Structure 1
Amino acid sequence: MATGAGTLILGIDIGTTSVKVCLVDPRSKQVISRQAKDTQANVPSDLGSEGNKQDVPKIISAINSCVSRLPKDQLKQVGKIGICGQMHGVMLWSNKEDKKAWDCIETYMGCRFEIPKDNVSALYTWQDTRCERSFLDTLPVPQCHLPTYSGYGCATLFWIMRNRPHKLEHYNRAGTVQDFAVAMLCNLDHPIMSVQNAAGWGYFNTSVAEWNSDILQGAGFPTHLLPHVVKSGAIAGTLNQPWSV
């Protein structure tokens, strides 16, 4: 995503246990500053060891904390932000016509983002094992190069659809946690997902860069939750206003 006419690039990696950020000078190809923080975001699951969930507000807070510790004079020189993160996982959130899932708290420096817990689900990570083989065998055969595994976004959504359908009633958007972060920073109504993350969800044909929509719809899958897919490295948007951390 683009932020302005600055020359530095802010890189953000949302990992399974920690968040890492760095500032890169593309001219020298050198990392000039970096920060990291453990998210400590794991939350208990009602499925015990089969469930693996994380607290999204804690993850976003860790991002804010890391970025806030980068040198302020260097942050003013940022022109682009690149975000990557843990694959396969899925979270849900609610965007309404007059209100997004995130709150933008106005400060003298810009917008500080806060995430009300009621507006987002937990992040169901790639380590989640709720989709046992017996369950996976009941799912439609995907038309893609990857089989479906537990922890993949579409498999998890199938499980929620069949076992916790009331959860889907509260949300109208879904994506990886990095998709959520991009949507938040760019104030997007509908999330954008890169091709490799879509492949990591399953039911995505990389040859034609399309979801297996017909197959999913035939199985009653909530296809309205699927993010729009773009090429890796595409510009997702711009900062809606200065990001205050």
Structure 2
Amino acid sequence: MTLQEKHALITGGGTGIGLAIAQMLVARGAHVTITGRRQEVLDEVATDGMTPLAMDVQNEADVIAKIAAAVEAHGPIQICVPNAGLATGKAAHKTDMTFWRDMMATNLDGAFLTIRESLKSMQTTDWGRVIAVSSMAGLKGLPGAACYSASKHGMIGLIRSLSEEYMGKPYTFNSLCPGYVDTPIVTRNTKSISERAGISEEDARNMMVKANRHKRLITVDEVSAAAAWLVGEGSGSINGQSIEIAGGMM
């Protein structure tokens, strides 16, 4: 299925999963607005078919203004990928409200604001896809990461509710739920786990590798392939789903 003349918007589009999905969509003909907090990071990775746009998903006014500008420049958003997120673990008894609010403001509030503003133009079209990047932590409890797990559970609840709210219309809402993916987040978490647990960084990385049932890190291309399925032909009846990408049951 060609995505020619379709406009996609991806938050956290400058690295990792977001960038891989952006590259996949451009290869299929879409124009992609990639957003993130740092313009220089976006400028560095943007290719033909991508527009880099600095946007802070925690800031409602910024989300409203920047998505309106993207629509003005490239037309209605028909593929919305709320991907921006924080992935930091902390024991519940050590979690203060600043940490909690920051995580929720990015992972859940940011997803909601991005989807809400994208829907304003998507509803003027006859086709649309919302693909939220959640996590296996959105389907099960993750020890040492209650805040992160709660934010990703909330994202899945949001997507399921939206699929019901727009049922019968030509828009679908789904979540991708990867296990541990080989991205800069895993690199950062390797150091964090090592320091918190008092183990080597190699052992910390192996903990994440072993958490995936097939005992390897997932590639970003495996996640973008799932997104490709959801924007491809025959995807119209895939709606309200949480698609596990974790190498097996977890």
**TM-score interval, smaller chain:** 0.3 to 0.5
User: More strand per residue: 1 or 2?
Assistant: 1
Structure showing the higher helix proportion among its residues: 2
Q: TM-score, normalised by structure 1?
A: 0.35
Higher relative CO (Cα under 8 Å, sequence separation at least 6) belongs to 1
TM norm structure 2: 0.34
